């Protein structure tokens, strides 16, 4: 949740840290000290680019959730086909679910909840080839309850993963 941006007082002490929700004050500052604050960005250049992308593209939905566009390292980069590989992976998930009705029920409920929360949407067949898409694969993990784990390391037909193509959140400098 931290963006990596910090504000320091004139003695080099951190007085505020930027988060995706805004600035968090870490100490009390008098008016005289505030005038001496150095608001200079103290992150790495890539972190600054990610921060600026967030500021320019984020919105909030009616429920207060943040929505932000994905930031690719190379804006001209194209993701190649992932549909066939994703379908193959999904068929493996289906085979596993066919063997365990209880697991199947939990999985179906998870997916219904995920859809209802707006974390995914059904793609009509006529929209499949309209624009480049990365079909995100997933698998099941059972701990105390069912968890669905999404695999952003899944590679497209050119051997490139979404994880490799995207800028990652700013690194904290702690």
In the chain, where the domains are located: 2-67, 83-157
Any long-range contacts for 122-126 (C-beta under 8 Å, 24+ apart)? none
Query: Per residue in 96-124, pLDDT tens?
Result: 999 999 999 999 999 999 999 888 888 88
Among 19-33, 44-58, 131-145, top mean pLDDT goes to: 131-145
Pairing of strands 14-19, 22-25: antiparallel
| pTM value > 0.75 | no
Beta bridge partners of 59: 67
Beta bridge partners of 150: 138
Residues 6+ apart with CB under 8 A from 164: none
């Amino acid at each position: 949740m931290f963006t990596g941006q910090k504000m320091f007082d004139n003695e080099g002490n951190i007085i505020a840290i930027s988060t995706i929700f805004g600035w968090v004050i870490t100490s009390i500052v008098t008016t005289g000290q505030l005038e001496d604050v150095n608001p200079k960005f103290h992150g790495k250049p890539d972190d600054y680019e990610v921060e600026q992308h967030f500021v320019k593209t984020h919105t909030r939905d009616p429920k207060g959730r943040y929505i932000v566009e994905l930031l690719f390292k190379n804006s001209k980069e194209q993701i190649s086909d992932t549909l066939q590989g994703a379908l193959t992976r999904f068929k493996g998930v289906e085979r596993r679910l066919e063997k365990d009705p209880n697991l199947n029920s939990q999985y179906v409920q998870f997916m219904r909840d995920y859809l209802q929360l707006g974390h995914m949407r059904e793609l009509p067949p006529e929209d499949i080839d309209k624009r480049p898409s990365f079909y995100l694969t997933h698998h099941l993990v059972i701990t105390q309850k069912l968890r669905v784990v999404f695999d952003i390391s899944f590679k497209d037909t050119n051997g490139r993963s979404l994880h490799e193509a995207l800028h990652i959140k700013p690194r904290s400098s702690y």
